[in-house]
Amino acid sequence: MDRDVVRAVLFDVDGTLADTERDGHRLAFNSAFGELGLDWKWDVKLYGELLAVTGGKERIRHYLEKYTPAELNRSDLDNWIAGLHKAKTRHYVALLERGGTPLRPGVARLIRQLRNAKIKIAIATTTTPENVTSLLKSTLGEDSPGWFDVIGAGDIVPGKKPEPDIYHWVLDRLGLPAEQCIAVEDSENGLRSSLAAGLDTVVTVNDYTRLQDFTGAAVVLSDLGEPTQPFTVFEGTAYGSKWVDAELLTKLKARQG
Ligand code: XBP
Ligand code: MG
């Protein structure tokens, strides 16, 4: 088996395809809180701390445990959280549909190049499936969810990132071994997840994740880069490349250590 061939690229969504957390998910959570008459407000700093817990329902529960433990006594706690999260998803999808959440540099270019090169593309995310479809449609066009060979999202696996479950699920459906694939992530939780599934991983950081621990990443970059807007290399080597393409991904897979 040739382990240096890239047969599929597995993309994380939030923070990787687009900067969706601060001005997307966070705002949608706050809108849902308002809708349900809660006086909670997740500001930019607090939300950065809450991002340590992946998954919206899990994040709400974590907030309750830490900041409003009295709420944990609700008899219907699981349903109540699920209802609140459903409202949050509705607000988030509406926000994406209004536009103004662009893909990060290099994302659309790389996806198109991989498709032309017949390299499979997949999604592996903890976010809710509707959110993925909505982001792809609003940025790449109505038919773009169909471009992906596999979309793995949300509650389909028991353990969210940093557990490797979602990556195992996607690899299984791709029918490919991790050795022939590469992941693109933006966060330490995401990287822990992809590495635990045996995937070489490119990290593109954002304001929330810049200072996290990316030990084990193939390379840590500012973004995927464009010919007109080269990336910055923060850790590792990009072999002189200025933007991520299939050729660089192959070199990163072939690297030692
Ligand atoms: C993304 C998440 C998600 C989103 C919110 O992590 O943790 O929970 O913040 O989405 P990753 P939901 O980028 O590592 O997949 O509310 O739909 O869970
Ligand atoms: Mg992410």
- The answer to whether the beta carbons of residues 161 and 193 sit under 8 Å apart is yes
Give tens-digit pLDDT for 119-169.
999 999 999 999 999 999 999 999 999 999 999 999 999 999 999 999 999
Q: Give strand ranges (E) for the chain.
A: 8-11, 120-125, 150-153, 181-185, 200-204, 219-221, 233-235
Active site residues: 12, 14
Delimit the domains of the chain by residue range: 8-19+102-256, 21-97
Q: Would you state the pLDDT for residue 1?
A: 53
Sheet holding 219-221, edge to edge: 150-153, 120-125, 8-11, 181-185, 200-204, 219-221, 233-235
CA distances from 23 to 27, 179, 226, 232, 235 (A): 6, 35, 24, 24, 27
Place of tokens 């330490």: 188
- Same fold yes or no, 8-19+102-256 and 21-97: no
Q: Which numeric CATH code is attached to 8-19+102-256? A: 3.40.50.1000
- Ligand 2 center–CA 178 separation, angstroms: 19
How much distance in Å is there from the Cα of 3 to the middle of ligand 1?
Answer: 30
Percent of the chain with pLDDT over 90: 96
CB of 225 within 6 A of ligand 1: the answer is no
Structure tokens at 206: 């954002």
DSSP label of 18: B
Q: What are phi and psi of 107, to 5 degrees?
A: -65, -55
What's the mean pLDDT when you consider all of the chain? 96
Could you report the per-residue pLDDT of 203-248, keeping only the tens digit for each? Answer: 999 999 999 999 999 999 999 999 999 999 999 999 999 999 999 9
CA distance 249 to 244: 7
CB-ligand 1 contact for 127 (6 Å cutoff) = yes
**What pLDDT does 93 receive?**
98
CATH topology of domain 21-97: DNA polymerase; domain 1 (1.10.150)
Distance from the alpha carbon of residue 37 to the mean position of ligand 2, in angstroms: 29
Measured CA distances, 13 to 37, 66, 150, 257 (Å): 30, 27, 13, 26
